[in-house]
Amino acid sequence: MRQIQLYDTTLRDGAQREGISFTVEDKLRIASKLDELGIHFIEGGWPGSNPKDDEFFAKAKQLNLSHAQLAAFASTRRPKIKAERDPSLRALLEAGTRVVTIVGKSWEHHVTQVLGTTLEENLRMIADSIGYLKSQGRMVFFDAEHFFDGYKANPQYALKTIKAAAEAGADCLILCDTNGGALPSEVAVATTAAAEMGIPLGIHAHNDAELAVANTLAAIEAGATQVQGTINGYGERCGNTNLCSIIPTFKLKMGIPCISDEQLAKLTEMAHYVAEVANLTVDNHLPYVGSSAFAHKAGLHVDAMMKWEESYHHINPEQVGNRWRTLISELSGRGGIVYKARERGLELAAKDEQTRAILEQIKSMESRGFQYDGAEASFELLIRRAQPDYHPPFELVDFMVVVEKRRRPPTIEEEELLSEATVKVKVGTDVIHTAAEGNGPVNALDAALRKALLVFYPSLAAVRLVDYKVRAIEGTEGTASRVRVLIESSDGEHEWRTVGSSTNIIEASWLALADSLEYWLLKKQGEGTIL
């Protein structure tokens, strides 16, 4: 069975994504997690290019990696300079990694127009650099930059560059689709031609045409044995080959045992971990690891899934550490409502009249702008409120919000906005009428509502609003359009989301806020810790 080497470049190429800036500690933590995942080679950065990468390689010597080998990255020597005197190659050796990767030009136009040297000197640069690094006892990988563009422009010269690397002792030749514009058929032809040299090949693809994964698979089928990529596909411009897509495809669909079953089950966790360290959110729609990768909205799908889970899944989500979910919308059938309610610990019968009424209410609410896909706390409240014995912890009577623009004396140029909310809430037989100020109308409403409820429920002080999103549902009515407000709340341990919708943004916010507090109080009531 063919073995595939996994080469991760999240810490270098992935860090070139707009918006990512890893600290040294970030890189060390990610390297340790990549080792746990079973990655064979971890490219740590470009020593000598910046102080951060130098510090990383110095500290990385203390990492206790059980599986992966660290690789340092640099370019070939500069034109007309000896390899042993080239600052980039000297810094590469000083990084102290057994594996080094160097990049060189394989597209003739880059040699003459970017490097500004001759085609013959470029071949000497490749050979001299690799020969020198091999003489220093290093395992050397050669990244043939722009190989596929070079092959299309001048196949003979592109092949000469990797032949020069092979004859100099390179351990693996990595064919790079640096501009990310190659097609799988082109990758297959060029990789097949390169494979005739009889030296191990790798593939490094960018995703500018959204073909990085497809091009990687094409190269593997044509004989490549090393895959370079990043977690979540992070990288320059549109990113690199996504290892979170390639790894399960190899293992589950092609029978290539690149990592163990136990390691594969950590894949979703890994995707979220790297995103968290990068201060990004994982794209919900990423294959395999996204939260929507195994989510179903259509009633037909959910009904089939309840009978046979493989009916609308290409793999078992648990194999990659993910899970399947049902989404509630106007497309849902009764089976989806029943399944979703069961997930929330509520029992409904598919043929029950109450279930039919809930489904009709959901359809009615969504026609008015509510959406329960991302607001499962509001969905649970909708079901609970349909129960004949339901008693809410509080009832909203009315509210009023005033926004006033004031001028500060003595300088009349300075102005400030004042928001004040007045609310009336009923708890049992008590009616509380109170007011509060805030830095905006929603903040004032939140403060006034809490002020009223804290008298009865002091523990409500733990709840805080952590995210607030407003979306105009349709723009045809301009400022009179219906809006949807999605609120995320937390008590420090758990998070939940609620939704409100109205043509009035304040009312939409009020509904979402009230749902948020009511949901938390119901949960605490169930735990017997409401006070």
pLDDT at residue 466 is higher than 50? yes
pLDDT at residue 260 is higher than 90? yes
Mean per-residue pLDDT for 137-141? 98
The pLDDT of residue 298 is 47
Q: What are the backbone dihedrals phi and psi of residue 324, each rounded to the nearest 5 degrees, phi first?
A: -95, 145
10 Å Cβ neighbour count for 64? Answer: 6
Residues 157 and 84 both lie in one domain: yes
Give the CB-side neighbour count of residue 386, counting CA atoms within 13 A.
21
pLDDT at residue 436 is higher than 90? yes
- Its domain, for residue 167, covers 5-259
The pLDDT of residue 339 is 60
The pLDDT tens digits of the residues spanning 350-364 come to: 556 666 666 666 666
pLDDT at residue 415 is higher than 80? no
Task: Identify the band that residue 140 occupies on the pLDDT scale cut at 50, 70 and 90.
Answer: very high
Residues 193 and 334 both lie in one domain: no
Asked whether residue 181 is domain-assigned, the answer is yes
Asked whether residue 320 is domain-assigned, the answer is yes
Q: Does 125 or 390 have the greater pLDDT score?
A: 125
Indicate the burial class of 198 (C-beta count within 10 angstroms; 0-12, 13-18, 19 or more): exposed
The pLDDT tens digits of the residues spanning 298-326 come to: 454 545 555 546 555 789 889 999 876 66
**Percentage of residues in the chain with pLDDT exceeding 70?**
83
The pLDDT of residue 284 is 86
Residues 28 and 134 both lie in one domain: yes
Residues 152 and 96 both lie in one domain: yes
Q: CA-CA distance, 128 to 299, in Å (whole number)?
A: 64
Domain closes at, from 415, 441, 456: 456
Cis peptide bond upstream of 47, omega within 30: no
Asked whether residue 372 is domain-assigned, the answer is no
First to last CA, the chain: 62
Residues 50 and 157 both lie in one domain: yes
10 Å Cβ neighbour count for 94? Answer: 14
10 Å Cβ neighbour count for 473? Answer: 16
Beta strands 395-407 and 226-229: pairing type? Answer: unpaired
pLDDT at residue 389 is higher than 90? no
Task: Identify the band that residue 330 occupies on the pLDDT scale cut at 50, 70 and 90.
Answer: very low
Mean per-residue pLDDT for 326-344? 54
Instruction: Spell out the residues 6+ positions from residue 446 whose beta carbon is closer than 8 angstroms to its own.
Output: 438, 465, 513
pLDDT at residue 331 is higher than 50? no
Residues 110 and 238 both lie in one domain: yes
Asked whether residue 504 is domain-assigned, the answer is no
The pLDDT of residue 442 is 87
10 Å Cβ neighbour count for 452? Answer: 23
pLDDT at residue 141 is higher than 90? yes
Asked whether residue 525 is domain-assigned, the answer is no
The pLDDT of residue 382 is 81
Asked whether residue 321 is domain-assigned, the answer is yes
Average pLDDT over the chain, rounded to whole?
87
Q: What is the identity of the amino acid at 4? A: I
The pLDDT of residue 220 is 98
Residues 24 and 140 both lie in one domain: yes
Counting the structural domains of the chain, the total is 3
pLDDT at residue 523 is higher than 90? no
- Residues, the chain: 531
Residues 19 and 159 both lie in one domain: yes
The pLDDT tens digits of the residues spanning 494-511 come to: 889 899 898 888 899 989
The pLDDT of residue 296 is 61
pLDDT at residue 87 is higher than 50? yes
Instruction: Spell out the residues 6+ positions from residue 511 whose beta carbon is closer than 8 angstroms to its own.
Output: 485, 499, 500, 501, 502
CATH number for the domain that contains residue 85: 3.20.20.70
Q: What are the backbone dihedrals phi and psi of residue 401, each rounded to the nearest 5 degrees, phi first?
A: -125, 135
Mean per-residue pLDDT for 169-191? 98
The pLDDT of residue 88 is 95
Task: Identify the band that residue 342 occupies on the pLDDT scale cut at 50, 70 and 90.
Answer: low
Asked whether residue 163 is domain-assigned, the answer is yes
The pLDDT of residue 129 is 98
Question: Sign of the C-alpha dihedral, residues 514, 516, 518, 521?
Answer: negative
Domain closes at, from 412, 441, 456: 456
Residue-by-residue DSSP string for 44-106: EE-TTS-HHHHHHHHHHTT---SS-EEEEEEEPPPTTS-GGG-HHHHHHHHT--SEEEEEEE-
The pLDDT of residue 355 is 65
Asked whether residue 409 is domain-assigned, the answer is yes
Domain closes at, from 210, 234, 259: 259
Residues 358 and 402 both lie in one domain: no
pLDDT at residue 513 is higher than 60? yes
10 Å Cβ neighbour count for 408? Answer: 10
Q: CA-CA distance, 69 to 130, in Å (whole number)?
A: 19
pLDDT at residue 378 is higher than 90? no
The pLDDT of residue 34 is 98
Beta strands 415-427 and 430-438: pairing type? Answer: antiparallel
Q: Which residues pair with 431 in a beta bridge?
A: 426
Residues 255 and 151 both lie in one domain: yes
Indicate the burial class of 124 (C-beta count within 10 angstroms; 0-12, 13-18, 19 or more): middle
Q: Does 32 or 327 have the greater pLDDT score?
A: 32
Residues 239 and 348 both lie in one domain: no
Task: Identify the band that residue 90 occupies on the pLDDT scale cut at 50, 70 and 90.
Answer: very high
Residues 189 and 324 both lie in one domain: no
Q: CA-CA distance, 239 to 437, in Å (whole number)?
A: 46
Answer left, alpha or beta for residue 360, where phi above 0 means left and psi between -120 and 50 means alpha.
alpha
> Nearest 5°: CA angle at 524, between 394 and 454?
50
CB 125 within 8 A of CB 79: yes
